[in-house]
Structures are given as structure tokens and as C-alpha cells.
């Protein structure tokens, strides 16, 4: 299979070792790209929720594919997050051709970039880590139930639905938490003279410009999303940044058929 050449790719919040990971989709994505640089922006291996009895072969294949990319010329940099914070004890280390770091500061096309997971701006983790870990287990269970629901939705030709995204979009505290997180990251980035700040952690893929809360300064904020709910990544082709979103072709074909049938106002046929 031919691979797309991409200058830089950022993925985060893969959560290897949990029920929520869409392993098949991520593996297909990794096999479809040939990036010059791949930044793994935290929570790649979910050490918090790691279980000996659950680490499927598909999850191991993802690790193998990442190693394979690094051996074939892709510069792979693993930035630690809160769910894989145990790796922070290794400091600035290299595992073969994969570099392990806590954050990354680089220049791209004359612009200053700051890449980091983002958990340093999460008060629930900094102040009550045990509560954050408990919430992580609850989130993992919610995602598991959501996956079962979406399997039924797919069978009936309906679009997938995210329980947690619905909660985040409708609960004011969750919306404020996301807004506060983004603002805090951008304020610090502005103060340190960065043009771009790139995070993960909150599972919300987005690219937008944010103004400093006190100064007339602006920074471009980007978040790579996750491979549990949004199945997303950030891609830079050398000119512009864009959010890549994985969509299952078979499901999209079904949805297109449903849409065209509704436009014609005729009864929909049953899908086998």
C-alpha cells in the first residue's frame, strides 16, 4: 500500500492497553503515512489503567508500527503525558531510534513551537491524582459502553455517537474546564514568546487563535485530539496545518446512501 508523504504528524491520547482504543483504525492510519517527523504527544501507553490480562495483539502491532516508522527514517519523539507519567522517571532518554522527552521546543518555517501533553495545566491531576485516576477508570468504562452502543448503530447504518463528547458539550463545568485549559496553555506560551502551542490531554481536536488573557498578544493553539473518541491527528504538509479525522469508508458510504434516499423522499432499503 502506498503511503502519503507528510512533513510532520502529531498524535496523542492513544491509550494503548484500554478498551477504548480504536486499534484497527489507528493501525491503518499509521500504515498510510510516511512522515518526516512523528510526535507522540502523551498518553500513548495507558499505564494508569494497564491490565496484564488485556493487551491485545493489535495494540502490540501499533507499537511495532511506530518502531518500524522510526527505523525507516521517520524521526519519532515520544512526549510523556499523565497516563504514561511513569516514563518521566527516565528523563531525556532514547529507546532505540525513538526519543523520549517531557516537552519539545522547535522552530518550523521561522515560527516557534512548543509541544507538550498539557496535564501540567490540569488542577485535578496536580492536586488530587488519586481522584484523577479514579475518573480515568470511569471514563474507560463509559467508552467501553459507548463502543457497544456504536456497534449497534453501525449495524443499523447510523452515525457513531460519543457519550463523553455529548457530556462535555452540554455540561457548563466541562466546557469551562476546556476553555480554562486552552487559555492557560496559550498565556504561558505567549509569555515565553511562542507562536504555536500544541497539546493533547483533553481529547478535543482543534486549531484556533487565542488571545492572551491580559496582553494584546496572540498564539495559535492546536490540539491533536485522541484515538478513543475522535480518531484524529494533526498534519503539517510544509505549508498549512490541518486536522486529520479517520472515517470508516463503509460507514460513510452507508450514510451517503441514506442522505440521498432522504433527499429523494423514498423509503430506505434495509442494509445487510
Q: Report the range of poorest mean pLDDT among 11-15, 87-91, 205-209, 222-226.
A: 87-91
272 within a domain of the structure (yes/no): no
The pLDDT assigned to 178 comes to: 74
Q: Which residues contact 120 (CB under 8 A, 6 or more apart)?
A: 126
Query: How large is the average pLDDT for residues 239-259?
Result: 69
List Cα–Cα distances, 70 to 39, 74, 97, in angstroms.
Answer: 11, 5, 6
271 within a domain of the structure (yes/no): no
CA-CA distance, 154 to 178, in Å (whole number)? 30
Q: Furthest-apart CA pair in the chain: how many Å? A: 62
pLDDT (tens digit, 9 = 90+) per residue, 53-101?
668 899 999 999 999 999 999 999 999 998 888 888 888 888 889 999 9
The pLDDT assigned to 163 comes to: 53
CA-CA distance, 155 to 143, in Å (whole number)? 18
270 within a domain of the structure (yes/no): no
The pLDDT assigned to 85 comes to: 84
CA-CA distance, 107 to 53, in Å (whole number)? 43
Residue 204 near residue 225, CB atoms below 8 Å:
yes
The pLDDT assigned to 126 comes to: 46
Mean pLDDT taken over the chain: 80
- Helix, strand or coil for residue 174? helix
CATH number at residue 158: 3.60.21.10
H helix or E strand, kind and range, residue 135 = helix 129-155
141 within a domain of the structure (yes/no): yes
pLDDT (tens digit, 9 = 90+) per residue, 120-136?
875 544 444 433 444 44
135 within a domain of the structure (yes/no): yes
Q: Is the pLDDT of residue 168 over 70?
A: no
Q: Is the pLDDT of residue 254 over 70?
A: no
269 within a domain of the structure (yes/no): no
Residue 151 near residue 172, CB atoms below 8 Å:
no
Q: Where in the sequence is the domain holding 92, given as residue range(s)?
A: 4-264
Our count of domains for the chain comes to: 1
Phi and psi, residue 222, nearest 5°? -135, 145
Amino acid at each position: 500500500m502506498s503511503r502519503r508523504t507528510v512533513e510532520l504528524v502529531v498524535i496523542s491520547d492513544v491509550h494503548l492497553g484500554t478498551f477504548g482504543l480504536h486499534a484497527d483504525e489507528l493501525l491503518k492510519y499509521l500504515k498510510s503515512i510516511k512522515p518526516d517527523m512523528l510526535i507522540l504527544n502523551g498518553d500513548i501507553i495507558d499505564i494508569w489503567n494497564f491490565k496484564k490480562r488485556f493487551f491485545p495483539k493489535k495494540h502490540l502491532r501499533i507499537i511495532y508500527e511506530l518502531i518500524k516508522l522510526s527505523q525507516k527514517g521517520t524521526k519519532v519523539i515520544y512526549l510523556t503525558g499523565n497516563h504514561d507519567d511513569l516514563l518521566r522517571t527516565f528523563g531525556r532518554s532514547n529507546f532505540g531510534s525513538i526519543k523520549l522527552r517531557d516537552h519539545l521546543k522547535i522552530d518550523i518555517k521561522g515560527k516557534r513551537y512548543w509541544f507538550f501533553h498539557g496535564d501540567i495545566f490540569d488542577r485535578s491531576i496536580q492536586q488530587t491524582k488519586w481522584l484523577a485516576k479514579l475518573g480515568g477508570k470511569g471514563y474507560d468504562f463509559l467508552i467501553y459502553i459507548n463502543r457497544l452502543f456504536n456497534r449497534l448503530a453501525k449495524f443499523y447504518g447510523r452515525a457513531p455517537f460519543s457519550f463523553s463528547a455529548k457530556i462535555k458539550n452540554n455540561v457548563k463545568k466541562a466546557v469551562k474546564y476546556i476553555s480554562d485549559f486552552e487559555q492557560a496553555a496559550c498565556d504561558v506560551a505567549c509569555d515565553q514568546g511562542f507562536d504555536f502551542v500544541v497539546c493533547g490531554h483533553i481529547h478535543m481536536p482543534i486549531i484556533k487563535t487565542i488571545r492572551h488573557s491580559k496582553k494584546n498578544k496572540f498564539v495559535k493553539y492546536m490540539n491533536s485530539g485522541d484515538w478513543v473518541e475522535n480518531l484524529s491527528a494533526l498534519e503539517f504538509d510544509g505549508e498549512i496545518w490541518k486536522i486529520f479525522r479517520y472515517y470508516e469508508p463503509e460507514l460513510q458510504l452507508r450514510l451517503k446512501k441514506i442522505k440521498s434516499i432522504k433527499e429523494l423522499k423514498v423509503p430506505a432499503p434495509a442494509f445487510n
